Amino acid sequence: MKEIPFTDLKSQQARIRASIEKRISEILDHGVYIMGPEVAELEKSLCKFTGASHCISCASGSDALLMTLMAWGIGPGDAVFVPDFTFFATAEMPALLGATPIFVDIDPRTFLMAPDSLEKAIAKVKTTGILRPKAIIPVDLFGQPANYELILPLAQNHRLLTLEDAAQAFGATRNGQSACNLGCAAAATSFFPAKPLGCYGDGGAIFTNDAELAARLASIRVHGKGADKYDNVRLGINGRLDTIQAAILLAKLEIFEDEIKRRQEAAQLCNQHLASIAEIELPLLLPNSTSVWAQYCILLPASKRDMVAAFLRDRGIPCHIYYPKPLHMLQAFADRAQKINPCPVATQVSERILALPFHPYLSEQTIEKTASCLKEALR
C-alpha cells in the first residue's frame, strides 16, 4: 500500500503544475525577482479574498508579526498578551523586540485563547504595575479563528492593540467574515509550505484597514525606506516576499476555495469515524466559525497519548504532537516572560493532544484506517 503522508503537497502540485510552470517561466523572462509584478498582483488578490483594504506581503509569518510590532513601536517595558499554547514565533517576536510576553490560558476544547484568562492576565499586569499592557496577539489555532467577540471588547476597554496571528487560518471565517479581517488592528499570516495556503519556500503577509499603518509597514519591509530606498526614515528589515513565491501563491489561489471545501469535508469524515471511540475527544469549533483545518487534533487520556502515537506510527500512520510544551515551560522564555498568569489547561492539552494525518486530498479509506488503528490502540 502507498505510504500515508501527514500532509500531501504532491497531489496538490499535480493539479496546478502547468500553471506554476507557466508563471515561473514568465518570471524567468521578465527577470524582476524582487518586488516583481506578481507581488502586487498577489497582494490585490489577497485583499479581495479577505476583504481587507491593505495587504503587505512579506518574507514569512514571523516577519509579519515582527514588522507589525515594530510599526507599533513595541519594545522594553511593554506587556504583550499571547496564548500559552501556540507556535513559538507568536511570543518570540515580541520578546525579540524586548517586550515581555504574558501567557494566557486556552479553552480545553477549541484550544483558543480563553477570554477569562486574558482578563485576569491584564488585571495582574495592571496591579503589578511594572509593565505597560500594550497588545494582544490572539491566535487562530489549527485553522480556527479566535473568539474575537469577547477579546476585542477587552482590548478596547484596556486600550490594547490587537494583532491576529492567522498563520494557520488563512481562508477561515468567523460570522461570515474572513480570517485576517476580523476586527483586529492588523493580522499576520504565513505561507510556509505546510500552512493551508503555502508557497514553495517562506512567505507571509500582513493585513490591515489602516492606511497609515500599511504605509509604515511597506517602509519597514524595505529597511525603513522613505521617499526612495536610500532615504531611510526609520529602522526596518529586509522583509520582502520573493516574486517567484508570489507566483506560486497565485497558482495555488486558483484551487484554494476547492481545497478549503475538501478540508472541511475531510474534517467532517474524521469526526464521524472517530465519534464512537469513547476515550477520544474531538476538536470543537465555536458556533459561527469555519476552520481551514491546518491540523486535525484529537485529545487522548494523557497516560495513553504516547502509546497511541507509537502504535499509529508502527502501522504507517504518521502523527505529530503540536505542541509538546506550552510556551511557559520553554527554556527560551525562562527569563524573558512574566509567568504571573497560570495556564493549567495549556499544560494538560500539551500532554493529551495528537495531530492526525490531514490535508485536502485525504481519502475516506485513510480516515477509516486511522480510526480502526485508534480503536485497536485504545482497546
Ligand X SMILES: *Cc1c(COP(=O)(O)O)cnc(C)c1O
Q: Which residues bind ligand X (CB under 6 A)?
A: 60-62, 86-87, 89-90, 139, 165, 167-168, 190, 192, 202, 204
**Edge to edge, what strands does the sheet with 289-290 contain?**
177-178, 173-174, 289-290
Nearest Cα neighbor of 151 from 103, 186, 184, 107 is 184
Query: 39 vs 373, which CB is nearer to ligand X?
Result: 39
Nearest Cα neighbor of 306 from 294, 284, 324 is 324
Bridge partners for 113 per DSSP: 106
Give the whole-angstrom CA distance, residue 101 versus residue 91. Answer: 6
Query: 38 vs 164, which CB is nearer to ligand X?
Result: 164
CA 220 distance to own-chain centroid: 22
Residue corresponding to grid cell 485508534 = 374
Q: How far is the CB of 219 from ligand X (least distance, A)?
A: 21
Q: How far is the CB of 70 from ligand X (least distance, A)?
A: 15
Nearest Cα neighbor of 243 from 31, 39, 23, 30 is 39
Pair 277, 356: CB distance under 8 Å: no
Q: How far is the CB of 128 from ligand X (least distance, A)?
A: 27
Q: How far is the CB of 78 from ligand X (least distance, A)?
A: 19
Query: 72 vs 373, which CB is nearer to ligand X?
Result: 72
Query: 105 vs 165, which CB is nearer to ligand X?
Result: 165
Nearest Cα neighbor of 142 from 353, 358, 287, 292 is 292
Measured at the CA of 339, the angle between CA 337 and CA 344, to 5 degrees, comes to: 130
Query: 52 vs 139, which CB is nearer to ligand X?
Result: 139
Query: 168 vs 208, which CB is nearer to ligand X?
Result: 168
Q: How far is the CB of 204 from ligand X (least distance, A)?
A: 5
Query: 269 vs 321, which CB is nearer to ligand X?
Result: 321
Query: 87 vs 293, which CB is nearer to ligand X?
Result: 87
Q: How far is the CB of 201 from ligand X (least distance, A)?
A: 10
Query: 269 vs 285, which CB is nearer to ligand X?
Result: 285
Q: How far is the CB of 68 from ligand X (least distance, A)?
A: 12
Residue corresponding to grid cell 495556503 = 197
Residue whose C-beta lies closest to ligand X: 61
Query: 308 vs 353, which CB is nearer to ligand X?
Result: 353
Q: How far is the CB of 203 from ligand X (least distance, A)?
A: 7
Q: How far is the CB of 165 from ligand X (least distance, A)?
A: 5
Q: How far is the CB of 37 from ligand X (least distance, A)?
A: 23
